[in-house]
A = this chain, B = another copy of it.
Amino acid sequence: MSTIDPAHPSGDDSDLDRVLHGVLAARRRERTVMSTSADRAARVVREQVVEGHLRSGTRLPEERLAAALGVSRNTLREALSQLVAERILVREPNRGVVVSTPDIDDVRDVYAVRRLVEPAALAHGTGHSPARIATVEAAVDEGQRAVAADDWPGVASANQHFHRAVVALAGSPRLDAQMHLLLAEMRLFFHLMGDPEPFHRPYLDENVTIARLLTSGERQTAADRMTDYLIAAQAQLVEAFASQG
């Protein structure tokens, strides 16, 4: 339709068409980021949950929550649908949504995914650019600095950055997005557990080792270390869940 359709074979306009088409696409992307108020509401609730201000099991009554967020109940429900799809919230039919309470099987499953994906990203990922490897190293440094400052929330955060950076070595936006969701679930686990230190202290050195192996190109060895790492971390979390959660 009109001059902006690149399918139209109008001779020397084709270059212009391509450019204009690109401009349109860019504007569309631009608007996509500011997004709708349902998305904004979802972002706020998501933040509150992963930061631990809304704890597992908390009910989220639609009317009060909508009022608090300054949106209508209908708009809020769109937001909640999103978060349910992300597994951050759970919908109990006719009872509303609650902040999800992961059980021991969720822990096992999340680690099953991670044990499959993270070592594979290290060993066989097709996106091992210097920049991405540098991001892994940066996350390790961030963790070292945080532990030196005795900042355990900071260590937890750095640890997430580390694992996201590892998955990013696969070079796949879809995998990155998936890992983002998994790590959000992980934060729910830790909020159930309380003190984060015992769950991060043992693995700081491992992060350093894996990063070093990665830098020196020993990808398979790095992957094997990551496998052991994840098995140990899973065992620790499962045990903690079994004994207290």
Contacts of A126 in B (CB 8 A): 112, 115
Out of B28, B85, B175, name the residue touching A113 (CB < 8 Å). B175
Q: Mark A104-126, 1 if CB is under 8 A from B, else 0.
A: 00000110110111011100111
Of A154-162, A165-173, A210-218, the stretch lying at the interface with chain B is A165-173
As for how many copies of this chain the complex holds, the number is: 2
A116 touches B175 (CB 8 A): yes
B31 touches A93 (CB 8 A): yes
Q: Is A10 an interface residue (CB 8 A)?
A: no
Name, among A38, A81, A94, A120, the residue most crowded by chain B CB atoms within 10 Å (CB to CB). A81
- The chain B residue sitting closest to A181, CB to CB, is B174
- The chain B residue sitting closest to A32, CB to CB, is B93
Q: Is A35 an interface residue (CB 8 A)?
A: yes
- Complex Cα–Cα for A125 and B115 (A): 9
Contacts of A178 in B (CB 8 A): 178
- Complex Cα–Cα for A174 and B111 (A): 10
Interface size on A, residues (CB 8 A): 41
Q: Is A3 an interface residue (CB 8 A)?
A: no
Q: Is A15 an interface residue (CB 8 A)?
A: no
B92 touches A28 (CB 8 A): yes
Q: Is A82 an interface residue (CB 8 A)?
A: yes
A residues with a Cβ closer than 8 A to B are: 28, 31-32, 34-36, 38, 74, 77-78, 81-82, 85-86, 91-94, 109-110, 112-113, 115-117, 119-121, 124-127, 170-175, 178, 182, 227
A112 touches B171 (CB 8 A): yes
- 20 further A-B contacts with Cβ under 8 Å, apart from A112-B175, A174-B182, are A32-B93, A34-B93, A36-B93, A38-B81, A74-B74, A74-B77, A109-B172, A109-B174, A110-B174, A112-B126, A112-B172, A112-B174, A113-B172, A113-B174, A113-B175, A116-B124, A116-B125, A116-B175, A117-B117, A120-B120
- Complex Cα–Cα for A127 and B93 (A): 32
A116 touches B112 (CB 8 A): no
Q: Contacts A81-B78, A81-B81, A109-B172: A124 and B117 contacting too (C-beta < 8 A)?
A: no
